[in-house]
Structure 1
Amino acid sequence: MPNENVGPSQTESSPEFFISPKEYPYPPVIHPYNRNPNSDRSPLMPLLQFWTWYAQLNIACRPKEAPAEANLHPGLERCSIADDNGDWCGSIVLNSKWVKRCRYAQQELIAISEAKAFSLLECESWTYYIPKERHESEWDVFYVLLIERKEEKWERVGLGKVFKEAFMRTAQWREIILG
């Protein structure tokens, strides 16, 4: 199994990758983006490989009696994200089939970007997780992906937002391959 721990310090100009999938045991080809998908400059792989912050937080799915959220596409549900103390710290949208087998347990999340704030649908009542008023809290949130391990790659399960404060408490810098 390849080493998934943090590698040497990364720079924006020259990322180093250490993980290679079994079906393609060669190091990743790193070159500028090519707008022409028919180009033969390099073969396209259905993988996305990058470094990001990784953490484990708890997913709490709503009880079946809870009304479905009107603005979500059928087959999707909004669940809560909680820290190790059980305190609400985020919101995530998941496939209903995944939610049915979900138990309150730690799940693996990666940060994909900063987010400006929670919407009223994502955070119905302000919890003061961070010591600020709702209107003062801008850029205190990450967009996150809930991911699951499938062999040596990860797959996206859901998209959500979480307070940076909760995420960074246990976050690690990790190399990820999404398949």
Structure 2
Amino acid sequence: MMTSSIPLMVMIMTTVTAQPTEPPPGRDITEIVGHWAYDGFFYEGQRYPKPNPDLNLIFTFNRDGSHRLFWERRNEGVFCERKGEYVLANAHLTQRVTWVNPENHFSCAQDPDMHMGREVTNKIDVRTSPSGQKELGIHLDLDGKPFIYILVRVPSLSAAWNFTRLHW
């Protein structure tokens, strides 16, 4: 089983783009509008839980094309936050950072995703898990192998925090 910290996972997610594939037809932006909590990842054909159970990571995608990424490590007083714009086209999500919280922990500066103007494009898919939960998969290439970052839809920010705290 892989063990690593989430800042590394966030850095990997944003510094490596998906391998070119033949994308399916366009996607409706409403598929990803809402709050999504980090739940784990797929690697080498196996699903893993998030490596750090004290990590709360929430993506929020708004209808107007804006988005927010916020994560904290419970009991450490460490958080990183950024906002940006996104475009969903042909099953690919492009995000551009337009604001970085000046109160972010100093370690956030090591994460390329926390830099103004950073733009990244990844293949995504939205699916329903066997348990009936909506999942957003963000596809990456890690050392030449597929890596899928898994987020689950939650109905609200308070539900997102409860999900990440109670899920583990």
Fold agreement, TM-score > 0.5:
no
Structure number with higher helix proportion: 2
Question: TM-score, with normalisation over the residues of structure 1?
Answer: 0.24
Structure number with higher strand proportion: 2
The structure with the largest alpha-carbon Rg is: 1
Question: TM-score, with normalisation over the residues of structure 2?
Answer: 0.25
